Amino acid sequence: MTLKQLEAFYWAANCANFALAAERMHLSISSLSKRIAELEGSLGHSLFDRSGHRATLTDAGLRLLPKAQQLLESAMQVRASVSQKIGLSGRCAFGVGELSALTWLPALVSLARKQFPDLKLEPYVDLGAVLEERMDRGELDFAVIAGRSSRENLLSYPLTEARFVWVASSKLTGDAQFMTSAMVARLPLITLPHGAGTTRILDDWLLQQGITTEERIVCNHWGAIAGLLLEGIGVGFLPEGLAHTLSKRSNMKVMQSRPALAPLAYSYQWRRHDARPLIELMRGLVVQTADFSLVNRLFGALPAQAPERR
């Protein structure tokens, strides 16, 4: 029995399939399968039932999994005890939402590359619901997602908040300064699709206003939403920094509302029982860099709005 064999077994047990496990270990599927077969031979028990569409753990595999995790954790602790600095190498696949990608993701990647030059970073941008599913399948090491995970297999660490404000084009709302329930009920509401973290703060606001029906134009891109709002196609809300930046350079107006939109809390999420140094070290870097107000820096160089066509 070797640590490489135990590591192959651990990832095969924690990923959706052997192909994903092999990818996580930078092995071919045949090499991964060989290590697992060697481990099964040394133990005298089959660890996976391969008779179905997807390999599942046998009783022996279920008994071995927590022991294998303990052994791998102990091996990492031994390595850390004889090294003054923990270096990270290999592949780190992680997920963020679009707002994170538009704000602090570049700072995170820059800092991580400086501290861990041998670590290959692979960020993925998608809706929170999609990122949670990919983490659960073992495709991602961690993700930064709005809210806490409801999945038993995922853990959450609170990070920071993003704030949003209602906005509208002045050619659509005139001199109005407040976003009222009548306005939202009357005009198209431009918003991210269900599965985005902002769904919950929008639904809470609509419930407080007693709005049960509204016309929605759903779009999965903040930049496109901003463009639709600037064109006066409907009303909606934007990240606070982007909204104020656009309001200074275009006919976009930041609208007040009672109540104001609630802030959206974000968390660092990872798979339960994943005790690799990568998880803790990358969490530390995310804590240092996660700042949604950086959107001001990204959009501060936007050109002034072109004159309206006549």
Contact between 28 and 21 under an 8 Å Cβ cutoff? The reply is: no
Closest Cα to residue 121, out of 136, 132, 105? 105
| pLDDT given at position 238 | 93
| pLDDT given at position 310 | 36
Of 49-53, 62-66, 174-178, 226-230, which range is least confident?
Answer: 49-53
Q: Where are the domains of the chain?
A: 3-81, 90-161+264-299, 164-255
Residues in CB range of 126: below 8 A, 6 or more apart: 95, 97, 134
What is the architecture, at CATH level 2, of domain 164-255? 3-Layer(aba) Sandwich (3.40)
| pLDDT given at position 80 | 60
At 307, is the pLDDT very low, low, confident or very high (cuts 50, 70, 90)? Answer: very low
Contact between 8 and 21 under an 8 Å Cβ cutoff? The reply is: yes
3-81: CATH, from 3.40.50.300, 2.30.42.10, 1.10.10.10, 3.10.20.880: 1.10.10.10
Gap between the Cα atoms of 115 and 113, Å rounded? 6
Which phi and psi angles does 250 have, rounded to 5°? -155, -170
Q: Is the confidence at residue 83, as pLDDT, over 60?
A: no
Segment 232-249 mean pLDDT? 89
At 24, is the pLDDT very low, low, confident or very high (cuts 50, 70, 90)? Answer: confident
DSSP 129-154: HHHHHHHHTTS-SEEEEES----TTE
Residues in CB range of 114: below 8 A, 6 or more apart: none
| pLDDT given at position 112 | 95
Q: Is the confidence at residue 305, as pLDDT, over 70?
A: no
| pLDDT given at position 286 | 97
For residues 54 and 76, the model is more confident at 54
Residue with tokens 């595999």: 61
- Establish whether domains 3-81 and 90-161+264-299 are of one fold: no
| pLDDT given at position 140 | 93
Q: Does domain 90-161+264-299 have CATH number 3.40.190.10?
A: yes
| pLDDT given at position 308 | 44
- Over residues 187-222, the pLDDT tens digits come to 999 999 887 888 889 999 999 988 877 789 999 888
Segment 89-110 mean pLDDT? 91
CB-based burial label for 184 (10 Å; 0-12, 13-18, 19+): buried
Which phi and psi angles does 169 have, rounded to 5°? -75, 140
Bridge partner list, 196: 194
Q: Where does 82-221 have alpha helices with state H?
A: 98-102, 105-115, 128-136, 170-173, 181-186, 198-209
Of 126-130, 287-291, 303-307, which range is least confident?
Answer: 303-307
- Over residues 257-277, the pLDDT tens digits come to 989 999 999 999 998 878 778
Write down the mean pLDDT value for the chain.
86
Report CA torsion sign: 35, 39, 41, 42.
Answer: positive
Q: What count of Cα atoms within 13 Å lies in the side-chain half-sphere of residue 137?
A: 16
Q: What is the CA radius of gyration of the chain?
A: 24
